[in-house]
Amino acid sequence: MVGATGVRYYLGIGAGAACDPYKTFPLKAYHSAVLRAMIDRDKNHPCVVLWSLGNEPDTEHFPQSAYDYWRPLYEQAHTQDPQDRPVTMVCCQNDYTRDTTTRTMDVVCINRYYGWYNLSGDLENAAYAFQQELDFWAGIDKPLVLSEYGADTVAGLHGPAPEMFTEEFQVEYYKTINACLDSRPFVVGEWPWNFADFSTQQGPMRVGSCNRKGLFTRERTPKLAAHYFKDRWAKKQPNDR
C-alpha cells in the first residue's frame, strides 16, 4: 500500500510533557542517515510523489525543539532529491495551535479520530470539532491530507442504531468526516485507516487482540464501509481530490 501511494514514512518521536524528547534521545544523526538512504533507494521509483519524514512525533509539548529537529531534515530531503518532490511529516491528534512544525511542510498530513478516540460516538459534535480545526488549517493555506481516520468495527456486529463497534457506525463515521472534507477545497486526500484488520497486543481497546479499523477483515471479507468507499470513489471525477 505504501508503494502504491508513493509515500514514505517511518519514524515517530515522543515522550509527552515530562521531558523534551529532542534533547533526550540522540536520534538526529541516525534519522538523517536513514532519510538519505531512503531517498537514494527510492528516488527513481515511479510512484513516489511525496516524502514523509516521520509519523506522529511530539510537536506539541516542546514546539521550538520540534521545529529545530525537523526543519533540517525537511531541507535535506529537498536538497537530496533530484526531482525536489514535496516533503511532509504526519502529525497525531494534538494541540495543533501549538504545533509550529507541521504547518511548515509542503503538504499538511494529519491523523485525526474525532468521533472515535475524541468525542467517542458523538458524531455531531465530532463534526463540529473537526470543522473548527479545518478552519485553522484553512488559514495556513497549504494542501491537506487526512492521513489517518477510522473507527474500530467488529465484522458482523449490527444494531438498530449506529453504535460504536457496529458496521453501521463505521459507515456513519466515514460519512460524517468525509462531509467535512468535501466542504474544504484545500483538502487533497483522504486515507482511511485501515485497509484490513490486523493483530495487536491484547488490551481494553483491542477486541480480540486486533485493531479492527479495517474496511476489510483479516481474511479480506469486506465490511459495509468497504462498499461505502467503493461507491464514493467510483463517483469521483478525474479532477476531484
Active site amino acids: 56, 148
Beta bridge partners of 176: none
Query: CB neighbours of 208 closer than 8 A, spacing ≥ 6?
Result: none
Beta bridge partners of 152: none
Nine-digit cell string for 182: 468535501
Name the strand (E) or helix (H) holding 77: helix 63-80
- Cα(134)–Cα(104) distance, integer angstroms: 16
Q: What is the largest CA-CA distance in the chain?
A: 56
Q: Residue 63: phi, psi to the nearest 5?
A: -60, -40
Strands 50-55 and 87-91: parallel
Q: Confirm if 60 and 94 have CB atoms less than 8 A apart.
A: yes
Terminal Cα-to-Cα distance of the chain (whole angstroms) = 19
Nine-digit cell string for 136: 485553522
